[in-house]
Structure 1
Amino acid sequence: MFRSSLLCISLMLAAAATAPALTLSLADIGPKVRTSHPTLKAARLAVAEAQGRQLGSGRLSNPSFGYALQNQSKVSPQTGVFSIDQAFPITRRLSLEKKLSSQMVGAAELEVRDAERRLIAEAQSLAVQLMSLTQQRVLRKQQTALATKLSEFVRGRAKVGEISALDAAQAQVDAQRLLLETRKLETTSISLMGQLKPMLGLPPEEALNLSGNLPELAVPGMGAGWMQRADYQLAQTKIAAATTDQQLAKARRLPDVKAGVFASREMQDVTPTYRQYTGYYGFSISIPLPFWNRNQGEIAEKAASAERALLEREALGKQIISEAETARLEMQANADLAHETRDKLLPLVIEQTDKLEKAYEQGQTNLLTILRAREQRLQLEAAALDAVRDFHLARIRYEAATGKHAPAGAATSSTPAKR
């Protein structure tokens, strides 16, 4: 039995190891987060809770049934009284309760949409960093291959005594340094992947590949669609709900009126041999008199809540505008930096490095100059990749700030970045 269990576990692990990796593009991250993020699955139950509360709102209270029995005495007959009472509001309380519950359902739905917006932005940021690290690792591997080739060349020259053995050792150290940097990037990728998988609803052992390239650097124009952002719409809904709640507090100034009907049956033993039956019926009403309490405290509270909701919406609007414009300016700055580095500086450095390598092979310069030139080239190439990464991180912040969940790379009112 124990061996069969071990065999089953081994087969399951082997199947998991050989299972094909899930491949997603940057544009697939958003839909995958919407459908698979465990937090969103739990958040959607809040909508169901609000809908359940809506079912019980705006309804009359249940009627009450009463029965009273009084035995006969020498001066009064035996009396049984049946009554049914119902409370009726004399204000718009029920319709306001129904309206408020409907607004709270809308608020719960907007809270889920806002959570989607924030979680999608977070997951897309992780994906962009992972894709950028992949490019950085490819760059380091290329540089490592070049450094290894140079190290072998220098070691061969050192064996025949044409150059110093110290140069050979320095070239080998440089190749090992680049290899160590590549491993550090792999460690960072493992950490980021460990953060991304739970957001996509994936277990740690499932393999995940990110396909495709980062979109072109296109800076969006000034847009005014941020008012459709979920949390801003939520702030609008809270204002409407606070206004309704304020009206509801005013409607509660007058308590419900109670009305009812009753019927009585009386029995009186007139003589030992004669029993007389009588009865009556009628209508009752109870009107509360709001002399001492007119709900002033709750009315003042709800008025302050409505004012606070207005101020919170104004503050949120200013914050959204600032976030969007800051992210857009960061996009433009990083796009300019990437183009400046790739189109102007890198070609000059590459050309100079090639000339220095040829001069070194001919014995016209020293190894330190070659290593310094290669280090400058690596820094510029890495800086260009970092600028592209930072551009797309700012783009994700801009789309999150404006409430745009367009697929990555979609040209929504975008213009090419200035060169």
Structure 2
Amino acid sequence: MTLEQAIRSAVQNNKDLQAAQYVVKIARARLMQAGLLPNPRLSFSGYDAIFTNEPDEYELGAGFTQKFPVAGRIARQKDVARMDVARAQEEIRNAKLKLSAQVAQIFYRILILNRQIFLRDQLMQVDRELLDASRNRFRAAEVSELDVNTAQLELEQLYQERTLLKVQRSRSSIRLKQLLGQTFDKPLQLDKTLPPIPMLPDLEEEQRRALKLRPDLRSAQLSVERSSAQVGLAKAQRWEDWTAGLGVFSGQTVFPNGLSTGIDVGPSFVLTIPLPLWNRNQGRIAEAVALNQQSSARVRALTLRIRNEVAKAFFETKRLQDTVDRYRNGLLKLSDRNMLLAQQAYMMGQTSILTAVQAQRQHGDQHIAYLNALGQYLKSWVALHRAVGDYLEFLGRSGNHGFRSGERIHE
């Protein structure tokens, strides 16, 4: 499994992301509800004077009323709901970006741990050879028991370090499986090829790309548009819904002299218009305007933070890249040569075991430090991709471990 395959698998199968994606369906359901008219009302009324002195007097009526929004209230509600749908989609994109960065970090950490374990295996093999040579020279009375014990302790230390590294790798593997939506007992085989180290892109270009790609910035910009739509909605709500009704009535009125009007049947019509005299929705309009100003301020603050995040990750990656290059181009070769000379000198009896062990430990420390620096470099490189939002484009294209170009690292 390459990094690209791991990220795609996580985006497709991660359980937390699957649960989060329902926010889009929820927002679309609210958009549907925002476009609906109020339900009509059917009303009945009646009056019967059966318990009075004029039992023939009565009045019956039935009516149908409907509220009608005015000033475009429903259209403004739909504008707000559309912004909520767009913001929900950006939230999902931001969740995918965070998930991709988490997968990349753990993926690279496992690769480095594999290299650390492999390095301990190599050092342990060298220590076994040194231990065997010490025992042979001890039997020949050429060295003391101190040489044998020193070599034995060095070997045991490497064994303990290797065990702890395996525990860390197991913990990281379980975490990666969790992100991929897999159970802990499912086998996970990763591509062990370490990624290339490319030339860093231009900082200003990366900052411009970040401002274009980052979904959290797009979400903040949509918040500004949503608050503008809320201002329009609040203004439309100054006029409450009008109520229009149609009905029919039937009645008879009896006068004191015993005469009656007879049975009257006729239509009725009613129109209710609320007048915005005292409550003109001033408070909600002012609140919406303030929310719009607040959203604009947040966009400016987030823009500055994104530019600084990209710059921080960029310069940190650059410094670590220089450190990795220094190890590759000089320190590792020097430590390899120094350990070889110390081993040969000990085998020939020209130096003590302490000198040989010290040279070997120095050799191991240099390689361990190199792998640690490489791990920090990969972590900062992932942070740079995360700050720019590269993994969103990475999901839509083929690539090599998320890097653009470059040479292979020191194996």
Equivalent residue letter for 1:304? A
- Matched ranges for 1:109-124 at <5 A: 109-124=89-104
Query: Once the two structures are superposed, what CA deviation does each residue of 1:231-271 show, in whole Å capped at 9, x if it has no partner?
Result: 11111111111111121112111111111222212246899
Distance 1:411 1:122 in 2: 16
Describe the shift of the 1:365–1:191 C-alpha distance in structure 2 as closer, same or farther (beyond 3 A): same
More deviation, 360-369/275-284: 275-284
Query: Once the two structures are superposed, what CA deviation does each residue of 1:274-318 show, in whole Å capped at 9, x if it has no partner?
Result: 993322223221111222211122222222211111111111111
Q: Does 1:220 align with 2:197?
A: no
Q: Secondary structure of the equivalent of 1:387?
A: helix
Identity %: 26
Which residue of the partner structure matches residue 139 of structure 2?
159
Q: Secondary structure of the equivalent of 1:56?
A: helix
Equivalent residue letter for 1:110? E
Q: Secondary structure of the equivalent of 1:96?
A: helix
1:327 aligned residue (313, 316, 321): 313
2:48 aligned residue (71, 78, 101): 71
Distance 1:64 1:152 in 2: 98
Which residue of the partner structure matches residue 75 of structure 2?
95
Which residue of the partner structure matches residue 7 of structure 1?
none
Distance 1:237 1:76 in 2: 67
Which residue of the partner structure matches residue 242 of structure 2?
257
TM-score (norm 1): 0.88
Distance 1:307 1:179 in 2: 61
Unaligned runs of 5+ in 1: 1-23
C-alpha RMSD of matched pairs (Å): 2.3
Unaligned runs of 5+ in 2: none
Aligned length: 393
Q: Does 1:48 align with 2:25?
A: yes
Distance 2:23 2:231 in 1: 24
Say whether the 8 Å CA contact 2:14–2:178 is kept in structure 1: yes
Query: Once the two structures are superposed, what CA deviation does each residue of 1:213-240 show, in whole Å capped at 9, x if it has no partner?
Result: 1211112332211122111111111111
How many Å apart are 1:156 and its aligned residue?
0.4
Distance 1:345 1:164 in 2: 33
How many Å apart are 1:344 and its aligned residue?
0.9
- Matched ranges for 1:179-194 at <5 A: 179-194=159-174
Say whether the 8 Å CA contact 1:324–1:401 is kept in structure 2: yes
Task: Kindly indicate which of the two structures has a greater share of residues assigned to strand.
Answer: 1
Which residue of the partner structure matches residue 231 of structure 1?
216
How many Å apart are 1:128 and its aligned residue?
1.0
Describe the shift of the 1:333–1:102 C-alpha distance in structure 2 as closer, same or farther (beyond 3 A): same
1:145 aligned residue (99, 105, 125): 125
2:276 aligned residue (290, 302, 316): 290
Which residue of the partner structure matches residue 16 of structure 1?
none
Say whether the 8 Å CA contact 1:137–1:186 is kept in structure 2: yes
Say whether the 8 Å CA contact 2:4–2:402 is kept in structure 1: no
Q: Does 1:33 align with 2:10?
A: yes
Query: Once the two structures are superposed, what CA deviation does each residue of 1:73-109 show, in whole Å capped at 9, x if it has no partner?
Result: 7498422222111111221211011111111111111
Say whether the 8 Å CA contact 2:94–2:215 is kept in structure 1: yes
Distance 1:147 1:141 in 2: 10
How many Å apart are 1:338 and its aligned residue?
1.0
1:377 aligned residue (358, 363, 371): 363
TM-score (norm 2): 0.90
Which residue of the partner structure matches residue 409 of structure 1?
401
How many Å apart are 1:113 and its aligned residue?
1.3
